[in-house]
Structure 1
Amino acid sequence: MQIFPNEFLDVIIQFKGVFSKRIYSHVQFLLAGAILCQGKRTISSVLRILGLSKVKNFGKYHRVLSRANWSSLRCSKILLHQLLK
């Protein structure tokens, strides 16, 4: 079951190689929430807008950015390439 529109998936699919398969599903939700969020884009704000603030394993989304192995430089290069297209 696909929950994101194809246009969104076309953009974020390029980031799939940066994150592990387990982390990538969380990254999709965080990106969608960051797009929808108004004001400060903290993890808590993003989860609140997605309706996930009351979930028991709330902390796993914080660990995506703090503990998961991923390269912000690699993500920046992908994003820059997409912007230049």
Structure 2
Amino acid sequence: MRLLIRSNYSIFHVNLRGTILLDGSRISIREAELNKSVYVFQQDYVCNSPSGAAAVVLARAANGWTEWKDKEGNTLDALKRK
């Protein structure tokens, strides 16, 4: 999960992200590639939609149907319509 929030991030998702971060049992911080820190979920967290989950993780407005992909690069949209 990205550390910094983008300017096009909705107030709802800012608040949701804050709630998740305040519950320290769900998130930890670790170093990622290129000496950048990222948040890592320590337990499952259920969101109401793919886009909501993507927005929380990416810290920006996001279309979860196109952001979430499997190992082969297939979008959630493509997988759902199969």
Q: TM-score, normalised by structure 2?
A: 0.34
Higher helix share: 1
Q: TM-score, normalised by structure 1?
A: 0.34
Higher strand share: 2
